[in-house]
Chain A
Amino acid sequence: MSLSILFVQILTGLAYGMLYFMIAAGLTIILGVMNVVNLAHGTFFLIGAYVAYTLVSKHLGFWLALILSVGVTAILGLVIERLLIHRVYGKELEQVLLTFGLTFMLSDAAKWIWGTDIQTIPVPRVLDFSISVGSVDFPAYRLFIVAVGGALAVILWLLENRTRIGAIIRAGVDDRAMVTALGINVGAVFTGVFAFGAALAGLGGVLGGPLIGVYTGLDGDILVTSLIVVTVGGLGSWKGPFVGALLIGLMDTLGKVWFPSFSMLVIFLLMVVILLIRPRGLFGREVAP
């Protein structure tokens, strides 16, 4: 494999890794802070993408559509948390049943609204070109995704370490009773965290739209991979999903080159091996019971 080809593979792996990062970041925060396994998280990704598709086809422009659909998924997350999720805090199996039921409902509703035809969101015009890398071209849009993912990592790092909200969340992960004792409205923080997580998934959906398309069943495909990312990275900090996502993105891409007939096995094996060495994932912390 020539150097330029390897370079292209790595860039590809990074681009997909960053998409996984956007979804997994929300999943890991919700799981780490609120102790909720949100199986409906992939559905936020799907709905973000579908809303953006509708807005773009109404000639609203990619960027406006991006902002609006991230807003829509955030509101959806907010409503679902207030109406349903907050009733099942601390009851893990009920959460599984509830969020599983929600996925059924939301993805079927999406099928009802948008039909079964496969859709794609066109790449925004300013990014619709390719950069020549040795013997092949590389689409600029993917570099854009890598950049957005990088920026998001920085923002999450700042949020976690430099803001009051971040401090509360960190404290909440370590010792929830303490935070409540300090008079902080944990309920409001939780609602905010859930909506923020949903918005991140929606962002991933919109940005992923031009790359992987929008279709029924996308939510399930994306959920499994992002759960793996969360597991590999570990719960409790932005670092886990970031490193986990890049690792999974790269291994998935390079696995296709090195073990073509067993590429579907590579990321699962990677997860098992990592859990055997570090039973809480790479950056997992002990989470409050």
Chain B
Amino acid sequence: MKKTLLSAIVLVAVTAALPWVLGDYGVNLATEVYIMAILAMSLGLLMGYAGLVSLGHAAFFGIGAYTVALLGPAIPSTIVLIGLSMVLAGIIAWVTGMIFIRTSRFYFLMITVAFGQLIFALIWQLKSWTGGADGHKVSAPLDFGFGEMGSPLALYAVMAVAMVIVYVFLRVFVNSPAGRIVQGVMDNENRMTALGYNVRFYKVLAYTVAGAIAGLAGSLYAYFNLFVSPELTGWMFSGQVMMMVIIGGVGTLMGPAVGAALFIILQNFISSYTERWPIILGALLVTLVLVGRGGIVHWVGLARTKIFVRQKEASLQKSSSGHLYGK
């Protein structure tokens, strides 16, 4: 657990130092990046550790966000509301996960798209309750028992703490016996079955954990953004989160978070400077594939290897490509 502790300390130090160098808008953007990093890490758990590539993950984010938006007026406690978002997203993930993991590879990808679109359509259609296409305001105050936290810095701190907690939790989870079995199933499902493990249970477990964390990210986003709309659940958004994970590096925990930061910052800044941002962003993605070795985080590792430990280079190659089709 020493590694986990050290990583956490570094994360805390970096996040605590950031507001001193960022301006108002920078703090605001960083806050959003942390929330997206939580979401991307949860999808990273699915893709990189359980081999389940979902294109409907935003649905759980949306469920969390709408839980806060719709139940906020009725439930004053922030803790209860966030907890409820996670439980709700987790339960829905558990139920749908049991059904979806029957399909595999491409079909799993598509059935999760369908799930995301079903949630999207429900929110769109139940307009008397959700506001439909016009979206819905969030009026619940963020309050953990020591006053309302509405200022940008307070929000920043809350999201940073949440990200660190989620990171530590995921680190502990993937190193736990259950987490290792999940990875074992991804690497060789038949072997794990032969060894007597209930393979389906562990897949559903990973899907449920990822869903609940996405729900958490969604509920935090509602507090941050104060406005929710159906776009939060759509496949386009799911696709963007998947981009974050792939850009950052599949098979790592920190990679998706870095991918989220890069994706959001790039998209935001390129689109501010030029109207031709899709071409530039597209070209960047293509270049990344052509020169990349499985994500930014791996580059960092690679650079370090090149400089310090040449002989270990070989071991990096192993963790590059992804698992859309399983093994």
Contact = CB atoms under 8 A, between A and B. Distances in A.
Q: Do chains A and B touch in the complex (CB under 8 A)?
A: yes
B17 to A, nearest CB: 32
A264 interface: yes
Interface residues of A, number: 48
B285 A101 contact: yes
Nearest to B239: A100
A68 interface: no
A223 B256 CA distance: 26
A132 B285 CA distance: 52
B278 interface: yes
Contacts, number: 132
Contacts of B323: 92-93
Q: Is chain A's binding surface mostly helix, strand, loop or mixed?
A: helix
B286 A105 contact: yes
B289 A88 contact: yes
A96 B107 contact: no
Q: Is chain B's binding surface mostly helix, strand, loop or mixed?
A: helix
Contact of A268 (B106, B118, B281, B282): B118
B322 A224 contact: no
Contacts of A271: 110-111, 114
Contacts of B121: 262, 264-265, 268
A95 B243 CA distance: 11
Contact of B322 (A31, A93, A103, A105): A93
Interface in A47-101: 84, 87-88, 90-98, 100-101
A279 B107 contact: yes
B279 A109 contact: yes
B290 interface: yes
A243 B288 CA distance: 38
Interface stretch (A117-125, A173-181, A191-199, A227-235): A227-235
B104 interface: yes
A87 B53 CA distance: 21
Given A104-B282, A261-B125, A268 B289 contact: no
A112 B290 CA distance: 25
A98 B321 contact: no
Interface string A26-49: 000001000101000000000000
A189 interface: no
B284 interface: yes
B77 interface: no
Nearest to B48: A93
A209 interface: no
A280 interface: yes
Contact of A96 (B99, B124, B284, B324): B324
B102 interface: yes
Contacts of A268: 114, 117-118, 121
A108 B278 contact: yes
A265 B118 contact: yes
A116 to B, nearest CB: 11
Interface in A197-229: 220, 224, 227-228
Nearest to B120: A264
B111 A104 contact: no
A281 interface: yes
Interface of A: 31, 35, 37, 84, 87-88, 90-98, 100-109, 112, 220, 224, 227-228, 230-231, 235, 261-262, 264-265, 268-269, 271-272, 275-276, 279-281, 284, 289
8 contacts: A31-B106, A91-B320, A94-B321, A265-B121, A272-B115, A275-B111, A279-B103, A281-B107
Given A97-B243, A109-B279, 19 more contacts: A37-B324, A84-B290, A92-B53, A92-B321, A93-B246, A93-B321, A93-B324, A94-B322, A96-B324, A98-B286, A101-B285, A112-B279, A261-B125, A264-B124, A271-B114, A275-B107, A275-B110, A281-B107, A289-B327
